Chain A
Amino acid sequence: MPLAQTATTVPVTVDQALCIADKGCTVCVDVCPLDVLRIAETDAGKTAYMKYDECWYCMPCEADCPTGAVTVNLPYLLK
């Protein structure tokens, strides 16, 4: 029973230019009640991103981000 690769847009976006995950910041990952954010390591450095599309659009990640890098949009299905 193989699993499909169905695409989905995610509501939380992170401005890579502002994100300071490179400096060890994990605030958004730490505070998320649904635990859906992670730090990605790319060629351009580390950045936070939304790994799981399981968002309550509640805002701690945006409110607590020290650099204003995180934006919470409404999930497409309900916006």
Chain B
Amino acid sequence: MDEILDGITQIDCDILVIGGGTAGPMAALKAKRKNPSANVVLLDKANVKRSGAISMGMDGLNNSVIPGHATPEQYTKEITIANDGICDQAAVYRYAQECYGIIQELDEFGIRFQKDQNGEYDVKKVHHIGTYVLPMPNGDTVKKALYRQLRKARINITNRYMATRLLTGDGRVAGAICVNTRTAEFLVVRAKAVIMCLGAAGRLGLPTSGYLYGTYENASNSGEGYTMAYHAGAGLANLECYQINPLIKDYNGPACAYVAGPMGGYTANAAGERFIECDYWSGQMMQEFFDELQSGKGPVFLKLNHLAGETISEIERVLHIVERPTRGHFHAGRGTDYRKQMIEMHISEIGFCSGHSASGVYVDENARTTVPGLYAAGDMANVPHNYMLGAFTHGAFAGEDAVDYIADVDFAGFDQGMVEAERTRVLAPTKRDDGIPPNQIEYKTRRLVNDYLQPPKVTAKMELAQSRFAEVRADMESAMYVRDAHELMRALEASTILDCADMAAAASLYRTESRWGLYHNRVEYEKDDENWFCHTIMTKGADGLPSSRKQAVQPYVVEIGEDEKDAYSRQRVGAGVAAE
């Protein structure tokens, strides 16, 4: 294994789904159910059994809109407010209307949701306004349940192939070029429609531990979706709205205020005092978190040690078996007992992820990108605060719409030169006798991201970042060297990460205002509704460099009252409010 082999194969399919984490399996399933004769291929860089953000499951749904607990109008309003009003509501509203049906389907797959003594869904309040958080008692089984459905539906699963570039022709998508991560053999997939579900750009900033893979996101989510969309000419929205998350310091995984919050846990400063009113993530909440970390009252902790032993045992039961189960190992190693100590927290490195922000490949309410036949869903698409249920639901929209799309089209033609050019680019690091290994290219890129792009954002620093990135790119293109197919995968990821870093810098420089709290805290500029109440859309310019433009926010489906607009701006606990 890992020996570099020379080979290229071409296959055809109706619908190619790239990424088998959360959105991808649902997209494939929905497409196949709507058109059982369609040839649907589900491709993954890892193994669909355990790939993606929910590799080890999830503790609950963060954003379920369940009749009797929340309405689609209320949810749409809340997400719009949480995103400073920059939100095309149609995609959020459709999600809010249809996600309940997806919950029922997941229930049929064998994924259970918490119910109260009356048999009603036991939805918890974590957000500022509405009630949307639904615990999943057997959340560790999500991937297994999905995999069973994929096998039953006879979806063609292709593991350990990494898509590197999309093929386009005739003004639409034509397929994808992929590389085997263990042999470096090429696979060209011709497809009538392509659904991208490649997750977040989770290896953009460098964790403070310095460990390249100690990221908040699944470290295999290195941002290929963003770069493939970019190089194929699709638009990407609001990339300056970074993802930054509160997390357990050093462990760099979620402390899960969404689990602990409804049971009485809360975010506190070193004195054990509450300083934010609501633990629901927004840019303004992260700004308050950041300010407290920098202040004399820091650092910041998750406080549970005031709770009853039984409550803490229940929190541990959830946190130590689901999503990031090594949390338990980590606390044991440090001698941290939730009953006695508070849990030290920090903020994550930056990344792109719509799951908790509003950036990503631009899509409409049918999960269509700006390239015909090309879809995106999940963390890489720009529907804000979508989380796991959003990935499932928009994955379903993509799968169903793609079936309609392929009914009227044949394969798009493409220039064979694209395949040859990509083979040359991909294999270049295998043709050298020595040089710079991909881990050093990646480390340097991500260290520069931390030094120059992490907010608070400063113009001169971001411009320096662009110069340093150009130097790293020159090194990468002339001297990156790999010894086997596994290292070649890392080399391709290093290239993706550098592309994402360039996009992050360009997007952040373009929006000359502050917006979304810490996420785009551009210290030289105030918030500016007059000039910047708009999306920014990035495409690949004619010169091969990122090019940005403004795009109007679509008229709201659900109106926001003047007195409601600022609900998420007032996060800090007012003077005189004592800690519990």
Contact = CB atoms under 8 A, between A and B. Distances in A.
B220 interface: yes
Interface string A33-56: 111001000000000000110111
B104 interface: no
Nearest to B159: A30
B393 interface: no
Given A31-B49, A33-B51, A79 B333 contact: yes
B219 A54 contact: yes
B496 interface: no
Contacts of A33: 46-47, 50-52, 55, 218-220
B439 to A, nearest CB: 8
Q: Interface on chain B toward A: helix, strand, loop, or mixed SS?
A: loop
Interface residues of B, number: 42
A32 B334 CA distance: 26
B213 A54 contact: yes
A56 B210 contact: no
B184 to A, nearest CB: 13
Contacts of B251: 74, 78
Interface in A61-79: 63-64, 72-75, 77-79
Nearest to B210: A77
A74 B325 contact: no
B210 A1 contact: no
Given A56-B219, A74-B329, A78-B214, A32 B209 contact: no
Interface in B45-60: 46-47, 49-52, 55-56
A78 B209 CA distance: 6
Given A33-B51, A74-B329, A59 B56 contact: yes
A58 interface: yes
B356 interface: no
B1 A38 contact: yes
A57 B211 CA distance: 12
B218 A72 contact: no
A51 B329 CA distance: 22
Interface string B185-215: 0000000000000000000000101111111
Interface string B250-279: 111000000000000000000000000000
Contacts of B330: 74, 79
Interface string A12-37: 00000000000000000011111100
A59 B328 CA distance: 12
A78 B333 CA distance: 11
Nearest to B483: A3
Interface of A: 1-3, 30-35, 38, 51-52, 54-60, 63-64, 72-75, 77-79
* Among all A-B residue pairs, the 6 with the closest Cβ atoms: A78-B209, A60-B50, A31-B50, A77-B211, A33-B46, A56-B219
17 contacts: A1-B479, A33-B46, A33-B218, A34-B46, A34-B220, A35-B181, A35-B182, A54-B213, A56-B218, A56-B219, A57-B329, A58-B324, A63-B56, A75-B209, A77-B214, A78-B250, A78-B252
